[in-house]
Chain A
Amino acid sequence: AQSVSQHNHHVILSEAASLELGCNYSYGGTVNLFWYVQYPGQHLQLLLKYFSGDPLVKGIKGFEAEFIKSKFSFNLRKPSVQWSDTAEYFCAVKRNTGKLIFGQGTTLQVKP
C-alpha cells in the first residue's frame, strides 16, 4: 500500500548532537513533501516543505531536509539540537486533492 514511513519512533539525544530523522514515501510521480513539528501542548507547525527546485530545503529553527528522488526519501536534519527541539516530528506527502498523508511520527527527546 502507498504510504509514508518514518523509521525512528523515539529518538533521544543530548544537546548539541546532530539530528537526522528518516522519512520514506512510496508514491510515484510528482510529490510535494512536508515536515511538521508538534511541541508539547501545541498544535502542528510547518517546519519546511519541498515542491520543486533545489532538493536541499531549509526551514525554520535551523532545520533542513534533503529530497532524494531515487531513494524516495525526505530526511530531516539539524546539525546541533537544543533542548527546545523536544517535540514530535511528522513527515507528510501531499496527494492529489490536497490532503496530507502523514508518517506515524517521531518523538524527539533532547536531554540538557
Chain B
Amino acid sequence: NAGVMQNPRHLVRRRGQEARLRCSPMKGHSHVYWYRQLPEEGLKFMVYLQKENIIDESGMPKERFSAEFPKEGPSILRIQQVVRGDSAAYFCASSPPSDGSSYEQYFGPGTRLTVT
C-alpha cells in the first residue's frame, strides 16, 4: 500500500508566479489535510478537505491560497502570485473516515517551495 504521495518534492518559483502542489492520499483515505512548516517553526494547519468539499479552511491565508480535492485525482494546493514569505515546506496528510481510537494522519514527504 503506497503511502501519501506529494509532488513535486522541490519547487522553485519566481515572485508573482503560481505554485501548484499535489497530494495523492493513501488508498482508501478520503480525508486530506494540508500543513505548512516555515523555517524554525512547527507545522501549521492550513485546510482540511474531503472529496469535493472543504471542511475546515481556518488556517488558510485569506488571499492567493486555495485548495481542492476533486472527485477524481489528487488534492491540489494552489498559491497564486507567490511572495518570498511563501517559501516553506508544505505537507499533506491523509486519514481514513474517522474510526474513533484508531484515528491517525499519515504524512507525505512534503513539497519544499522556494520563492526567488
Residues of A at the B interface (CB closer than 8 Å) are: 4, 6, 32, 36, 42-46, 49, 51-52, 90, 94, 97-105
14 interchain pairs, CB-CB under 8 A:
A32-B103, A42-B109, A43-B108, A44-B91, A46-B104, A46-B105, A49-B104, A97-B55, A98-B31, A98-B48, A98-B55, A98-B98, A99-B59, A102-B44
Pick from B41, B45, B100, B108: contact of A100, CB under 8 Å: B45
Report the tally of A-B residue pairs with Cβ distances under 8 A.
Answer: 63
Assess whether B101 is interfacial by the CB under 8 Å rule. yes
Q: Are B45 and A99 in touch, CB under 8 angstroms?
A: yes
Question: How distant is the Cα of A52 from the Cα of B56 in the complex, in angstroms?
Answer: 25
Total contacting residues, chain B, CB less than 8 A: 28
Pick from B56, B107, B108: contact of A99, CB under 8 Å: B56
Residues of A within 8 A of B98 (CB): 98
Shortest 5 CB-CB distances between A and B: which pairs? A44-B107, A104-B42, A97-B56, A102-B42, A99-B45
Least CB separation from B108: chain A residue: A43
Assess whether B25 is interfacial by the CB under 8 Å rule. no
Question: How distant is the Cα of A55 from the Cα of B44 in the complex, in angstroms?
Answer: 26
Q: How far is the CB of B75 from chain A (nearest CB, A)?
A: 15
Pick from B42, B44, B48, B108: contact of A97, CB under 8 Å: B48
Residues of B within 8 A of A52 (CB): 101
